[in-house]
Amino acid sequence: MSKKIILPDYVIDFMNTIRASGHQIYLVGGAVRDILMERKTSNWDFATSATPEQILSLFPKAFYHNPFGTVSIPMTHDQQEQIFEVTPFRIDGNYQDHRHPDQVVWGSSLEEDVVRRDFTINAMATDGQDIVDMVGGAHDLKKGIIRCVGKPQDRFQEDALRMLRAVRQASQLCFTIEDETKRAIREHAPLLKEISSERVRDELLKILGSEYPAEGILLMRETRLLDVVLPEVMECFGVEQKSPGRHHVDDVGTHLVKSLRFCTDPDPVTRLATLLHDIGKAKTVAVDPATGTITFYNHEVVGARQAMEIAQRLCLSKKQQHKLVTLVRYHMFSVSESQTDKALRRFISHVGIEYLDAILALRHADRRGSGVPDTSWRTELFKKRLEEVQKQPFTIHDLAIKGPDIMAFFSLPPSPTVGKIMKHLFRLVDDEQVPNTKDDLMRVLKTLDSASFQ
Ligand code: ATP
Ligand code: MG
């Protein structure tokens, strides 16, 4: 007996509408996989014997404008809009009259849909009850295996992105890549150079954002895809950093991957920054002749430059580029309790309030990735102080007294003198010589001669 599947009612209703007008319809690809795994799905792809025009006539909101005949139908369920995509079977001449029974359609058209898909787990279909599994997808799904449909060598030559998709799906689902498929990736990895940066970027960010990003990067290393996508990280494996009195036990590459494993921020850009934070070390490594210690002076500056090259190469958005480079550039921040508030404010203005949580997540990951405990009292104190200093003035406008107070006090008209006195007060507060309260600042005013500010 074939395996059964249970689809949501609104999907069954949709399929029934098409069937009621005499057409066949199958749910295909990722959705079948997701439902069998009891995962939430966002891929509602269907294959049908109906023509695009016939589908358009059944659903008033449907639209299509692509050469494959894929019709998109917006569906609202639980107040969320999803797009159902319906693509006609590619029926060859003989079958276009639709007079042939199901068997024929299964034998040719649905099979065509199945064999063009990348992996067996993505190549199952269902009519709403039974699973149509022509390539052993259910077996591989149960065993947790990513395996190409057909000969891996051919499939990767047809579309080299599939190699990165294999790693991506393995990291999302915690699956292993079947041996022959993996060997073929290793053989064909350089073909990934032919693929557009945007497609590579999308898959890489999905790997980083997945449940097992570190395992994904290790798979990329093993299959040599990392050589193509992030050679800068590849270079870090084997760069030793063990020195007397230093906490590091791993080489730089291993430390980067371990850090990524501990990154608690789900944003793929923070995770990419975590993976890249020490890449500058491969270029700056040196041995201090006096002590024999390994040094990496300015690796964060060199690393930030490399991160910018990577960001541009991967066509990250301007905002993503800025975040990535900022996190790499400032990841060496000090959490020492002896820092002044002014130093903390400088740190905040370098990193930007928006990225504070991300850089703290990077620090946490960096620590865990070096084998030291989760956090330290210093880091906790630092976080508290970051909150505190954000309540203190950053600009002249945050001073507890304003221009009119100064004008009133010195009986001055609006003039540059007022601005100069404000600046003077700001410097005193910023240098922590005077607290930012109205009383304290008025006391300072009493000691000033306004004429000296003209
Ligand atoms: P996700 O859940 O992240 O959307 P997905 O497996 O559904 O993952 P999509 O990119 O949405 O991936 O593709 C939908 C389906 O189309 C896949 O399940 C697969 O069957 C097929 N597919 C996508 N890209 C390729 C490709 N490059 N070669 C062959 N088949 C592909
Ligand atoms: Mg999808």
Per-residue pLDDT of the chain (454 residues; tens, 9 = 90+): 456 899 999 999 999 999 999 999 999 999 999 999 999 998 899 999 999 999 999 999 999 987 778 999 999 888 889 999 999 986 544 444 444 545 555 556 888 888 999 999 999 999 999 999 999 999 999 999 999 999 999 999 999 999 999 999 999 999 999 999 999 999 999 999 999 999 999 999 999 999 999 999 999 999 999 999 999 999 999 999 877 766 678 999 999 999 999 999 999 999 999 999 999 999 999 998 888 889 999 999 999 999 999 999 999 999 999 999 999 999 999 888 999 888 998 899 899 999 999 999 999 999 999 988 777 899 999 999 999 888 876 688 889 999 999 999 999 999 999 999 999 999 898 887 898 899 999 999 999 999 999 8
Residue 113 Cα, ligand 1 centroid: separation in angstroms?
12
Which is nearest to 328 in space by CA: 255, 277, 281? 277
29 CA distance to ligand 2 middle (Å): 9
Determine the distance separating the centroid of ligand 1 and the alpha carbon of 157, expressed in angstroms. 17
**In this structure, are 351 and 442 located in the same domain?**
no
- Amino acid symbol at 75: M
Closest ligand 1 atom to the C-alpha of 161? 27
The reply to whether 426 and 330 lie within a common domain is no
Which residue puts its alpha carbon closest to atom 11 of ligand 1?
Answer: 43
Q: Pocket of ligand 1, candidates 27, 38, 43, 194: which has the most ligand atoms within 8 Å of its Cβ, to mutate?
A: 43
Domain with residue 4: its CATH number is 3.30.460.10
Ligand 1 atom closest to the Cα of residue 206 is 3
Phi, psi torsion values for 126, nearest 5 degrees: -150, 145
320 shares a domain with 351:
yes
Is 161 close to ligand 1, i.e. is its CB under 6 Å away?
yes
d(C-alpha 306, C-alpha 324), whole Å: 11
Non-local (6+) Cβ contacts of 317 within 8 A are none
Whether residues 336 and 425 share a domain: the answer is no
Q: Domain ends where: 389, 416, 436? A: 389
Q: By C-alpha distance, which of 384, 396, 299 is closest to 344? A: 384
Ligand 1: which atom is nearest the Cα of residue 117? 30
Q: In the numeric block, which tokens belong to residue 66?
A: 């692509």
DSSP 217-281: HHHHHHHTHHHHH-HHHHTTTT-----TT----S-HHHHHHHHHHT-----HHHHHHHHHTTTTH
- Does residue 413 belong to any structural domain of this protein? yes
Q: How far is the CA of 119 from the centre of ligand 2 (A)?
A: 13
Atom 25 of ligand 1 has which residue's CA nearest to it? 118
Distance in Å, CA 34 to ligand 2 centroid: 10
Last residue of a domain, one of 107, 137, 167: 137
- 28 and 92 fall within a common domain: yes
Q: Is the shortest distance between the CB of 122 and ligand 1 below 6 Å?
A: yes
Cβ 155 under 6 angstroms from ligand 1: no
Residue 408 falls within a domain, yes or no? yes
Is 230 inside any structural domain? Answer: no
* Distance separating alpha carbons of residues 360 and 379, to the nearest angstrom: 9
Instruction: Kindly state whether residue 236 falls inside one of the protein's structural domains.
Output: no
User: Does 68 reside within a domain?
Assistant: yes
Instruction: Tell whether ligand 1 has an atom less than 6 A from the beta carbon of residue 366.
Output: no
Which residues keep their CB under 5 angstroms from ion ligand 2? Answer: 30, 43
Phi–psi pair at 14, nearest 5 degrees: -60, -45
Residue 120 lies in a domain: yes
Q: How far does residue 30's CA lie from ligand 2's centre (Å)? A: 6
**Domain hosting residue 14, numbered range:** 1-137
- What is the Å distance from ligand 2's center to 164 Cα? 15
Q: Are residues 375 and 409 in the same domain?
A: no
| 97: Cβ contacts below 8 Å, ≥ 6 apart | none
Coil, helix or strand at residue 438 = helix
Q: Residue 377 in contact with residue 385, Cβ under 8 Å?
A: no
